[in-house]
Structure 1
Amino acid sequence: MGHGLKTARSTYYAWVAGAEAREARRRADEALAHEITVIHIASRRNYDVPRVTAELRRHGRVVNHKRVERVMREHGIAGNSRRTGRRSLTKAAPSPDLIGRDFAATRPGTKIVGDITHIPTAEGWLCLASWLDLATREVIGYSMADRHRADLVIDALNMAVALGRLEAGCVIHSDRGSEYTSGQLHARISELGHRQSMGADRKLLR
């Protein structure tokens, strides 16, 4: 009986140690993801894995490119592709307004609102697409580029999805700008099992 108890205890302590190690890794990955995000924004979303890794090392962060690649993938952080021109938008029928003027939510991940902001920089205008959780008033996904891209708002949504910030059937609300009425966004929202909503206003939460 004593031997069995010792075995049970050792198994339990090993499980606790493993759980603590996993939690420590998760916290370390979250901290690294934050550092990568800052670098990514500063690079105007142009840095890929090798350049992000080099920038981290330049700031004294000892990290290998495989870990950087994994964290970027898991958090939906990706560099701009070197495409030229602008992807065409296929237009979908406007979605109904599912929230009216009720810009509030009692539970995170159930109602989010999209917006696109133009930020002046020394090198020109920067487009920032973001999704705001109406329960926490936090930005849960964002994407930046130096020009309008058809998938800018989709990239921002994918970040929120990758971070696990949306509940099933989430209402995804926006104005009727061309980025939000695109067939690509409508298809992505449907694929994820969420509900698209559109108001009549050109700008929301202003």
Structure 2
Amino acid sequence: DEELGGKVKASFMASDRTYGARRVWRDLLADGADCGLHQIERMMRLQGLRARPRRRRLPKDSGDRQLETGPANLLDRQFAAERPNQKWIADFTYLWTAEGWLYVAAVIDLFSRRVVGWSMSAAMTAQLVTDALLMAVWRRGKPDALLHHSDQGSQYTSEQFQRLMADHGILCSMSRSGNVWDNAAMESFFSSLKTERTANKIYRTRDEARAD
């Protein structure tokens, strides 16, 4: 028991305290240990080893909307474009790491469905979405007759972001409050990102998640 208990703790700590009994058990079996799942559960209880909960309360947007009335939904769910730099859509999502949330903002050109700008940060501020749009403008050049669509989050309604839009002559479109289908193409992209890339991964640091 003492020898096995040491291996259980080593596996648990190597996972950055994220493995439950079943994963620790599989880890030890792969290393050639002769043990059962219930034995591992008992060992973990005796040592007080408990994995971090998988489900976490999602972060809330506590910022103030700085536009009294949100801009109209000019995109109107028309998720096709006839040329590049005609319609851009934007949003951000969050990924959990052992250090806390990593917020990921992206801008997509609907003509090619290419991500033309992105940024990542430990905080969901106006700077997060501003940096993503700045990258898109830097990569694509100053746009001509461009429509930019997002939700009505405080980051996109902020004076900082709206000033950047105005400085580049970008027309602002926003989803109706609480209607995710108004930006369905962006929701689809983030769903694919998580399903195909991040869902089964455990990031120990924000830098590790950024790199991945």
TM-score (norm 1): 0.54
Matched, 1:129 2:105: yes
Matched, 1:183 2:159: yes
Q: CA deviation at 1:112?
A: 0.5
Distance 1:176 1:202, change over 3 A: farther
Match of 1:68 in 2: none
Q: Give 1 or 2 for the bigger CA radius of gyration.
A: 2
Match of 2:117 in 1: 141
| Contact 1:113–1:131 (Cα < 8 Å) also in 2 | yes
The residue type equivalent to 2:145 in the other structure is G
Root mean square deviation of aligned Cα: 1.8
Cα distance in 1, alignment partners of residues 64 and 165 from structure 2:
16
3-state secondary structure, aligned to 1:179: helix
Q: CA offsets, 1:67-94, max 9 Å, x none?
A: xxxxxxxxxxxxxxxxxxxxx7671241
Cα distance in 2, alignment partners of residues 168 and 89 from structure 1:
30
Q: CA offsets, 1:49-107, max 9 Å, x none?
A: xxxxxxxxxxxxxxxxxxxxxxxxxxxxxxxxxxxxxxx76712411111101111111
Match of 1:29 in 2: none
The residue type equivalent to 2:86 in the other structure is T
Q: CA deviation at 1:122?
A: 2.2
Cα distance in 1, alignment partners of residues 110 and 142 from structure 2:
12
3-state secondary structure, aligned to 1:163: helix
Match of 1:96 in 2: 72
Provide the aligned length of Structure 1 versus Structure 2: 119
Cα distance in 2, alignment partners of residues 174 and 161 from structure 1:
16
Cα distance in 1, alignment partners of residues 77 and 172 from structure 2:
15
Distance 1:174 1:99, change over 3 A: same
What's the % identity of the aligned pairs? Answer: 38
Cα distance in 1, alignment partners of residues 75 and 105 from structure 2:
21
3-state secondary structure, aligned to 1:132: strand
Distance 1:119 1:165, change over 3 A: farther
Cα distance in 2, alignment partners of residues 188 and 194 from structure 1:
9
Runs ≥4 residues deviating over 3 A: none
